[in-house]
Structure 1
Amino acid sequence: MKTWTLILLGAFAMSSQVMADTGGGFKNDDTPPPQHKQDSGQRGTKDAHENTIERIKKTQSLNWVTLEGFIIKKNGADSYTFRDKTGTIETHIPATAWDGQEINPSDLISISGQTVKKGKEIVLNAKYVRKQ
């Protein structure tokens, strides 16, 4: 009788452990891809709503956007020209947005901020600048 009780208890303990592992959540049984294979947090897919300078120039002001490209020219104290594959835009980048980073014209960056109208033009007021 004790043997059967121990067998049943052992089977119950193993089956409850198996059932507990079938739920969702983070599974640590796979290795992450190397950093150089990471593509904006996605696995090689393109966002269908990718922001471009061409696209944001057609929108109204007060939109939060993130763009990838290059700062190609300094125009004044906080004024820069930013370029992506579709064009250029005037960008205001305060000292706090740099976060201590040194950026060269050859550095691919991600820039996030709010678009505003300045006359007939759209200008990007940057809040964050990150080297890619």
Structure 2
Amino acid sequence: MKKTLAMAAIVALMSAPVFAANTQGGFSGPGSTTTTSQSGGFVGPNGTVTTVEQAKSLRDDAWVTLRGTIVERLSDDRYTFKDATGTMNVDIDHKRWNGVTITPQDVVEIQGEVDKDWNSVEIDVKQINKVSK
């Protein structure tokens, strides 16, 4: 009995940091709510920046980097992204925010894959970073 109780205490103590490691962040603007995400990832050169207009004509699953603003939250993980050439929907999972809070005034750089359906094109975001002005 004592061994079982001791093992349960050890498991509880070891799993506590996992729950404490989550940070807050996400989009802060029209339709927003607080999200939970993880932190960490690659920080460095991101390659060539693509425009919304160019991304709409690329093949399905093409890797893109876009720079612009997130202007509105459409649903749980769908947002409207805008740059100088137009707007398109982007899909950003909660875990991709990495503790960063974004407003419609913030310039962001997103990286992800083009997701083409029969009548729509959107970006499945794999990484999002706030760009310093």
Give the TM-score normalised by structure 2: 0.61
1:77 match: secondary structure: coil
- Show CA shifts across 1:40-64 (max 9, x none): 96xxxxx8x6410101111111101
The higher-RCO structure (CA 8 Å, 6+ apart) is 2
Percent of aligned pairs sharing the same letter: 32
- Show CA shifts across 1:12-35 (max 9, x none): xxxxxxxxxxxxxxxxxxxxxxxx
Structure 1 ranges of 4+ moved more than 4 A: none
Match of 1:122 in 2: 121
In 2, the alpha carbon distance for the partners of 1:129 and 1:60 equals 21
- Matched residue type, 1:62: D
In 1, the alpha carbon distance for the partners of 2:70 and 2:118 equals 22
| Unaligned ranges ≥5, structure 1 | 1-39, 42-46
* TM-fit CA distance, 1:67: 0.5
In 2, the alpha carbon distance for the partners of 1:118 and 1:81 equals 17
Match of 1:58 in 2: 57
User: 1 or 2, which has the higher strand percentage?
Assistant: 2
Give the TM-score normalised by structure 1: 0.62
* TM-fit CA distance, 1:73: 0.5
Tell me which structure has the larger Cα radius of gyration.
1
| Unaligned ranges ≥5, structure 2 | 1-43
Q: 1:69 to 1:99 in 2, by over 3 A?
A: same
Alpha-carbon RMSD across the aligned residues, in angstroms, is 1.7
1:57 match: secondary structure: helix
Match of 1:34 in 2: none
- Show CA shifts across 1:90-110 (max 9, x none): 100001110010000000000
**Aligned pair count?**
87
Match of 1:69 in 2: 68
1:60 match: secondary structure: coil
